[in-house]
Chains A and B, each alone.
Chain A
Amino acid sequence: MIHLIMDTFLRYLKEREQEQLVKILSFMFYIFRHDDLKEMLDSNKDSLKLEAMKRIVAMIARGKNTSDLFPAVVKNVACKNIEVKKLVYVYLVRYAEEQQDLALLSISTFQRGLKDPNQLIRASALRVLSSIRVTIIVPIMMLAIKEAASDMSPYVRKTAAHAIPKLHSLDPEQKDQLIEVIEKLLADKTTLVAGSVVMAFEEVCPDRIDLIHKNYRKLCNLLIDVEEWGQVVIINMLTRYARTQFLNPNINESLLEDSSEKAFYASDDEEDEDKKAEAAALVKRKPYVMDPDHRLLLRNTKPLLQSRNAAVVMAVAQLYFHLAPKAEVGIIAKALVRLMRSHSEVQYVVLQNVATMTIKRRGMFEPYLKSFYIRSTDPTQIKILKLEVLTNLANETNISTILREFQTYIKSMDKDFVAASIQAIGRCATNIGEVRDTCLNGLVQLLSNRDELVVAESVVVIKKLLQMQPEQHSDIIKHMAKLIDNIQVPMARASILWLIGEYCEHVPKIAPDVLRKMAKTFTNEEDIVKLQIINLAAKLYLTNSKQTKLLTQYVLNLAKYDQNYDIRDRARFIRQLIVPTDKSGALSKYAKKLFLALKPAPVLESPFKDRDHFQLGSLSHLLNAKAGGYQELPEWPESAPDPSVRNVEVKDSVCARRTVLTGPEGAGSVPVNMILLAHLTESDSGSGSESASASDESGSGSESEESGEETESEKEEEDEEKEKKRKKRLDKTKAKKPAEESAERCAIHTSYQINTIAPSGSIKMYELLHRITGEGLAVEYCFSRQPFSPDPNMVAVQIQFTNNTNSETKNLHIEEPRLQSGMRIREFAEIGLQPTGESVTVVMGIDFCDSTQAANFQLCTHTRKFFVSIQPPVGELMTPVFLTENDFKKEQGKLMGMNEISEKLTLGEKCVNEHVIVERVTATANLSRVPCGSDKECRFAGKTVSSGCLVLVTVTTKEGGRAQLTVNCEKMVIGTMLVKDIMQALSQ
């Protein structure tokens, strides 16, 4: 065929003139340019095809157009060689948009791929198919996505999630259908899918918050196992979600600030209104209780601060900044400071965010002040940001160190940086009154610097500082007047002139002379300087017209013929205003007032002020302008939306009961629970404590009530009793609902923990049945310290059966529990069959009634019965409670006198530091640490599982390894036993 064309071409040549030749040749070259490639692609050797594809891809990479090869390449889409195939995909995705019709040829291959038994082939087919931007295949894509979304393989489902935004950008009309798919995929329980589907959610329907409710807890719990990129997207989305669903944890503080401010500014006539507002504020200031879901989010994101990925760390940091109670935000500082060691681009972004944070929460970064010190090797943009942070961090206590640091900075070789340092000094001086004079003196010394830029910058800053207290500094103004001969930088000259004009009364002798000099050079000055000369002239005319009348006239005349219209206008305006003529208007009487009015000193503030209305870590925050697709961070709601929307119905006996209840009756019960909850947690309000603990209490409250009544009702008739019981159980379950939820959530949480992390070795195993006495059946148990989900008043006991016999053990179950009065047991489900050599772990619940009496029962197999007993150490009878320092003290105050047991002890050799003490105490008793200001004291809090009595433990260390242990608990027996156990643990 080529010969044919060449022949025509030669004939053509004869007919045409020479000049056309070049044009045609280039055209021919264009056509035949890729001829060899085409030939290679058409050959049946894979190696040739591969070579051709490699060359084509190299051309694409360089940005060369190879679209003319499309038909030849697309033919190879079904090639057996996997690398050729992949390269064809690359080509196809790149050019499909331009060659829509031809691209359709390849579709059937992918459709076949979608049905492949291998999940990876299905996924890759979907990936390429969805990347082909051809509108005709939208229905095919939609179908493929829908099918893939319910694929068996999570990897294919992940690919489906990735395909959703592709289809959405190709055809936005598919949105509704795509949202359905997103909803379905959001319910997916695998970590592989979670990140990708949230990304799709963010691109397609970020405003459909309602889709998240049901998946919120799952997302929180999966978070740590999601791949890092998915984590970033999920955390950012959850930040927005939390802002719409939970209450502001700092609401009480902000209200306090507001009201005090109001009181300060209140004027008399507003008093009444003010009182009303205050009253309203008081009503609003009810104790804040953190939603357990809010706490869940904070708790589950915290470990991610340790991620190696800077984006993840930043995402968690912004989440804490926007959502956490003030007291807890501090933990992000350390992680952010760590990021500063990273690449300079990472530093740049982190510093921008730190700068914004330091304005709102200065205290957070104060301990890390030195990490922001500037090195001469830092790039200028990093230096300037660090300077910004240092300036924001400056306060009365550290200003002297900071200023000393700044002094070395102004000697730097980087002049832009020096200028910024001078500005920073100026800002420190305005913010901190004590150092104003020192700064001013330092800056005046800089005026003799050799570098003109340094001098100019100093002049500008000094001008701003002088404006604050001009009276005391007339000698500085004189000094500056002298400088006008040397400084050439327009901004500095203008600043000096303004200063002299403004304070001409302080320098009555010098001012007219300066004007004389300036009048001489007027024509050669920059515009900004000219304006200030006119200004100076006007002010002098008003104050000292005797000496300066002629000079002013002269300057105004010069300005009248200036090239710049601004200057001409200004001159005309001023002449009318100050020079009294017949026609001059009423205004000229006030000329003096106009020009010499007292001007407020400028406020030097950070460019990062108020940037925090953008979500931190976002592109919009960095640019301080809304980027396309930015989702506003919503304000906190006034009152929390219904938290029950996040409840998930799990197929579990406990939950099934609850689901029945959420009928007409259940709906009414929700607010009651809320009030109960709020009431119970009032004592630890603001602590943001787990309301799991509170709800546990509510459960136990109704529990004890019930048991009390139960004994009474024993005498009554059976029928009545039954009915009563049923009613009560209804009530009980209603009241316990939140408790169950949280327990359930914990159960989800723990089960997931067990999956990912092997149970830690610190839990002590006890022997229930020895291998020999058990005739081959060995039973061990431990206190897993997890909440027992079916009944929060029970202690969870994890039992492990190991079958060492040669035969199977059948029907493992519990019989005939012999218990002390009040004790209860919830047995594990019968283990039907245990093959030889295997271990089975089950969890049972025992309510020990807060005593260390043993629970005795029989362990039965299909052949034998064994008498066994479980005796709990006192430390296992409690569960942790999260208190703040204040709440701890408050509670401790209530438990004085005989409820307090105090003992002195000598710490064991290994108890050298706080950490060991914490470890020992928490190993002995299931308590949680309470934050504490002093490093000499460790505090722990918990409550007994059964009755919910608070147990507070304080260990105060003293000189020479001595220490004092204090336990506050209403139950004295528990207290005494606990003291004994902890003493033993600590003195080992």
Chain B
Amino acid sequence: MIHSLFLINASGDIFLEKHWKSVVSRSVCDYFFEALERATEPENVPPVIPTPHHFLINVLRHRIYFVAVIQSEVPPLFVIEFLHRVVDTFQDYFGVCTEAAIKDNVVVVYELLEEMLDNGFPLATESNILKELIKPPTILRTVVNTITGSTNVGEQLPTGQLSVVPWRRTGVKYTNNEAYFDVVEEIDAIIDKSGSTITAEIQGVVDACVKLTGMPDLTLSFMNPRLLDDVSFHPCVRFKRWEAERILSFIPPDGNFRLLSYHVSSQNLVAIPVYVKHNISFREGSSQGRFELTLGPKQTMGKAVESVLVSSQLPRGVLNANLNPSQGTYTFDPVTKLLSWDVGKINPQKLPSLKGSMSLQTGASKPDENPTINIQFKIQQLAISGLKVNRLDMYGEKYKPFKGIKYMTKAGKFQVRT
């Protein structure tokens, strides 16, 4: 399956290599560099690159290319999904997944990769099992290790791999037993020129942070589970129970995990929380263009729209922008032509606006393309689909856990065409 893995940074240096079968020379990456050169943007490198003897499957995350070398037929998604899982694990261990973090923890990285694949086939990818095998580095532990000479590798042999619930560590103990659930919904939408919605969808996830002693068996029920059109579960969720009763019943992994991701059917009308009034125009012949943008809240269920960030890729002909925001700050990068405006909170009484002019290349004709406006925002304490958790019950353990639910709505891929 996966023969070797190369990690390549943004400037094209191979800074880590790992082989699971016989060694593949790093010169194989030359084919990757060729493809990288051909691609205009970093994200346009084809995920699968055939070479005379191998296939390179790569993913780009955190500006690092993870290039896996394959020798024979294997489902490409299998490799891609695995590489993403590797990145997630690194992030889980080191907080960030950057070149520096990987280089600093190269031994832990190597130990992790060794455990995750055997002969190129995934062996242990559950973070709970891995954490039992290899303890994540913390500042405290690093200090202790240097003084006492003890190690990051778990002294006990892992039992998780042998249990019926491979995702949960055994012998978990906490003094404060708590279970937190975050319901986060993202709105993906395309709004057209006139402000009408072309497509809008809600994608949601339920992320959990469960710190409970022993082997708790949880059930989580929703007030309105019919809203969920399409769901995908963490392997711990009992599918049959969901099918029959629409209840999530599971023995949770220890720590942070994504319990559920869901899609709210597009038949339901999606509430669009913000509206944009825009007037971006270029006059023929003159080297000036007008730029006007006003944001306002629409269907927010009485909640405040926060952390609003507007960005737009202006046409290549634009040299500079001279704008005046009513609140927040804006930046314009004359090289990439990216305009971004950090608005902050929308005050319904005084709508934020950004007005001014753009200077164009003299002599160049008026650009005929229109920029699209991307919007990011957050609304706390609201799940825009109306999804509500009904109750959370725990069985199998005697103590009373502390339970908490948080709702949040965010903009996903929220675009306004002009």
Contact = CB atoms under 8 A, between A and B. Distances in A.
A229 B75 contact: no
B372 to A, nearest CB: 4
Interface residues of A, number: 105
Contacts of A236: 75
B23 interface: yes
Interface in B89-126: 106-107, 109-111, 114, 118-119, 121-123, 125
A54 interface: yes
Contact of B81 (A118, A154, A346): A346
Interface stretch (A376-384, A524-532, A719-727): A376-384
B264 to A, nearest CB: 12
Contact of A57 (B26, B110, B369): B110
B153 A345 contact: no
B368 A450 contact: yes
A308 B76 contact: no
Interface in A15-42: none
Contact of B244 (A118, A310, A343, A762): A762
B230 A334 contact: yes
A384 to B, nearest CB: 10
B78 A229 contact: yes
A147 interface: no
A622 B107 contact: no
Contacts of A61: 16-18, 106, 109-110
Nearest to A345: B47
26 contacts: A62-B16, A133-B22, A227-B122, A229-B122, A306-B239, A307-B235, A310-B81, A311-B77, A335-B230, A338-B232, A338-B263, A343-B80, A345-B59, A345-B84, A348-B47, A349-B47, A371-B201, A373-B198, A376-B374, A377-B415, A411-B368, A413-B369, A617-B77, A627-B50, A757-B238, A762-B244
A381 B231 contact: no
Interface string A43-87: 000110010001001101111000000000000000001110011
Contacts of B365: 450
B77 A760 contact: no
Contacts of A463: none
B186 to A, nearest CB: 9
B417 A408 contact: yes
B368 A449 contact: yes
Classify chain B's interface size: 35 or more
B263 to A, nearest CB: 6
A303 interface: yes
Interface in B236-280: 238-241, 243-245, 249, 258, 261, 263, 266
Interface string B59-77: 1110000000011111111
Contacts of A310: 77, 80-81
Nearest to A630: B73
Nearest to B238: A757
A165 B120 CA distance: 10
A47 B146 CA distance: 9
B361 to A, nearest CB: 13
Contact of A619 (B75, B106, B110, B201): B75
A153 B123 CA distance: 16
7 shortest interchain CB distances as A-B pairs: A629-B72, A47-B149, A83-B151, A370-B199, A83-B153, A120-B157, A630-B73
A169 interface: yes
Contacts of A127: 118
Interface string B1-32: 10000000000001111110111001000000
Nearest to B263: A338
Contacts of B232: 306-308, 313, 335, 338
Given A61-B110, A236-B75, A377-B415, A371 B199 contact: yes
A913 B267 CA distance: 15
A3 interface: no
B48 A308 contact: no
Interface stretch (B158-166, B169-177, B322-330, B339-347): B158-166
B44 A625 contact: no
B50 A625 contact: yes
A344 interface: yes
A87 B107 contact: yes
A346 B80 contact: yes
Instruction: From A127, A348, A376, A381, name the one whose CB has the most chain B CB atoms within 10 angstroms.
Output: A376
Contacts of B201: 371
A158 B22 CA distance: 22
Interface of B: 1, 14-19, 21-23, 26, 40-41, 43-44, 46-48, 50, 55, 58-61, 70-78, 80-82, 84, 106-107, 109-111, 114, 118-119, 121-123, 125, 149, 151-153, 155, 157-158, 161-162, 166, 188, 190, 192, 198-199, 201, 203, 226, 229-235, 238-241, 243-245, 249, 258, 261, 263, 266, 313, 315-316, 365, 368-372, 374, 413, 415, 417
Interface string A81-116: 111001101100010010000000000000000000
A82 B151 CA distance: 9
Contacts of B81: 309-311, 346
Interface string A130-142: 1101000000000
Given A349-B80, A622-B76, A753-B240, A308 B161 contact: no
Given A120-B157, A236-B75, A314-B77, A86 B111 contact: yes
B153 A82 contact: yes
A63 B266 contact: no
A380 B149 contact: no
B309 to A, nearest CB: 14
Contacts of A345: 47, 58-60, 80, 84
Interface string A357-396: 0000000000000110101110111000000000000000
Interface of A: 46-47, 50, 54, 57-58, 60-63, 81-83, 86-87, 89-90, 94, 97, 118-121, 127, 130-131, 133, 153-155, 159, 162-163, 165-166, 169, 192, 196, 199, 224, 227-229, 232, 236, 303, 306-311, 313-315, 334-335, 337-338, 341, 343-346, 348-350, 370-371, 373, 375-377, 379-381, 405, 408, 411-413, 449-451, 617-620, 622-623, 625, 627-631, 753, 756-758, 760-762, 913, 915
Given A57-B110, A307-B232, A349-B80, 13 more contacts: A61-B109, A90-B114, A306-B233, A308-B232, A314-B77, A335-B232, A343-B84, A345-B60, A350-B77, A371-B201, A379-B41, A449-B368, A758-B249
A450 B240 CA distance: 59
A83 B46 CA distance: 39
A196 B121 contact: yes
Given A86-B114, A449-B368, A619-B73, A120 B158 contact: yes
B41 A346 contact: no
A257 B261 CA distance: 41
Contact of B162 (A90, A155, A341, A371): A155
A200 to B, nearest CB: 9
Contacts of A153: 162
Nearest to A314: B77
Nearest to B15: A62
A2 to B, nearest CB: 28
B199 A628 contact: no
A306 B166 contact: no
A411 B198 contact: no
A627 B55 contact: yes
A854 B8 CA distance: 75
Contact of A370 (B55, B241, B266, B372): B266
B73 A58 contact: no
A413 B315 CA distance: 7
B52 to A, nearest CB: 11
A196 B118 CA distance: 11
A94 B76 contact: no
Instruction: From B15, B107, B152, name the one whose CB has the most chain A CB atoms within 10 angstroms.
Output: B107
B100 to A, nearest CB: 14
B51 to A, nearest CB: 11
A838 to B, nearest CB: 19
Contact of A376 (B110, B122, B316, B372): B372
